[in-house]
Amino acid sequence: MMQHLATALGGVLAGFALAVPLLWQQQRTLTKVRWEATHDDITGLPNRRLFLDRLRAALAGDTPVGVVLLDLNNFKAVNDTLGHEVGNDLLDQVGRRLAGLPGPVLAARLSGDEFALLVTGDRDTTAIAANAAWQVIAAHSIRVVNGDLHATASVGYTHTHTHRSLIGTRELLSQADSAMYEAKVTTGRVREYLPHRTATVRSRDRQHH
């Protein structure tokens, strides 16, 4: 009787010993799949999907937040002249600098050379983050695989309290994008979304194209 019990117990333990590594591997695979679905494969930053999820959650909780959009000036020229490996390295280094910004800031890569910051706080906090993002990119050259590059960015930002009406993710992204566009066609630095000024810049730009 005892021998049968010992044999049965041994079988259970052996099965358990085999199952644990399998379950651990399955958990690792699931974690990896989830991470890859919400993060950018070049920079490791949150991707557009995760950024929008966090933005929607903040808006649903009535949390005051700002959205900062930026893209790198002349990034296409880097890819065309130096190659995609250098371009990807530049994106990675820019992502690292943005991820290191202080304060309640979530940095994400949306697509191409376009990055975004989700800033929890008031308009002043958002303005500080937007200017800090420009500064960390432009202040010092960026080491890439075959040397150093000097990069600059066009930065636009907006805030949920810019207007006193309800606003959603699409409107915030559109506003920040308009401000970024204004920065690109004027100074190439940092601009806040201001409806009348942005509309004038877009109108003037269309007249020259």
List, by residue number, the catalytic residues: 113
Longest dimension (CA), the chain: 95
DSSP 8-state secondary structure symbol assigned to residue 121: S
3-state secondary structure 45-83: CECHHHHHHHHHHHHHCCCCEEEEEEEECCHHHHHHHHC
The number of beta carbons lying within 10 Å of the beta carbon of residue 24 is 10
119 Rama sector, left if φ>0, alpha if ψ -120 to 50, beta otherwise: beta
CA distance linking residue 148 with residue 119, whole number of Å:
30
